[in-house]
Amino acid sequence: MSFFGKIFGGKKENEIPTTGEAIQKLRDTEEMLLKKQDFLEKKIDEQLLIAKKNASKNKRAALQALKKKKRLEKNLQQIDGTLTTIEMQREALEGANTNTAVLNSMKKAAEALKGAHENLDIDNVHDIMDDIAEQHDIANEISNAISNPVGFTDDLDEDELEKELEELEQEGLEEDLLKVPGPTDLPAVPTGAIAKPAKPAASELHITFKKIEEDDDMKELEAWAS
């Protein structure tokens, strides 16, 4: 059995795991490699410490520690590369899993919409809308019939009413014309020359003034005698 077969739980080669199962297996593998990475880093630090302690006392032991440290570092580098590959694969699977979930949701929504429209027919919809419009018309007719007073049907001829109104207006106009006063008889204009009044003579004016003075004297005398 291959290494990845062991990781994915020993499934048969023709049995394809789901994206969720594959993601979980990759996460488990990442966790295992991270633990091994921490272990190798600690081992590298230990070998470096041994090399430092034996650098002057035991050169052979120091060289062995450095060689072991190099092997551990190489192994650690391989693990780093593997973790990078696994991380990229996990992210791709997570994206595919998200796309699958979205597509499944959209598929279910489309199926639900199809099921909702399964018993609906466009012709039936038009028939229903026509029935609704017809019932509205009937309701309006009923309302209009109820609102009209019983026994007062409007069966008058509009043309006859207009003609009668014009006759009344004509009669009123004629009455107004009769009330206007006609021309009055004026005196005849004289045709001859108009005679100017004669001025009184000077002697007549003297007599008149004298008579007025005498009357004033008599009034004054009577007032004194009384």
Name the nearest CA neighbour of 41 among 76, 89, 86, 6. Answer: 76
Would you state the torsion angle of the CA atoms of residues 211, 215, 221, 226, taken in this order, to the nearest 10 degrees? 160
What would the pLDDT profile of 163-219 be if each residue is shown by its tens digit? 888 888 888 777 777 776 655 555 555 555 555 555 555 555 555 555 666 666 666
Average pLDDT over residues 141-168: 75
- CA 119 to CA 113: how far, in whole Å? 11
Domains along the sequence of the chain with CATH: 3-118 (1.10.287.1060)
What would the pLDDT profile of 85-112 be if each residue is shown by its tens digit? 999 999 999 998 888 889 999 999 998 9
Q: Model-level pTM?
A: 0.43
The 10 Å CB-count burial string (b at 16+, else e) for 199-209 is eeeeeeeeeee
Reply yes or no on whether the pLDDT at 41 is more than 90.
Answer: yes
Query: Phi and psi dihedrals of 191, rounded to 5?
Result: -95, -25
Q: Of residues 63 and 184, which shows the higher confidence score?
A: 63
Average pLDDT over residues 19-40: 92
Residues of the chain with pLDDT > 70, as a percent, come to 69
Least confidently predicted of 3-7, 53-57, 106-110, 124-128: 3-7
Residues 6+ apart with CB under 8 A from 68: 47
pLDDT of res. 188: 57
DSSP string, 182-207: -PPP-PPPP-SPPPPPPPPPHHHHHH
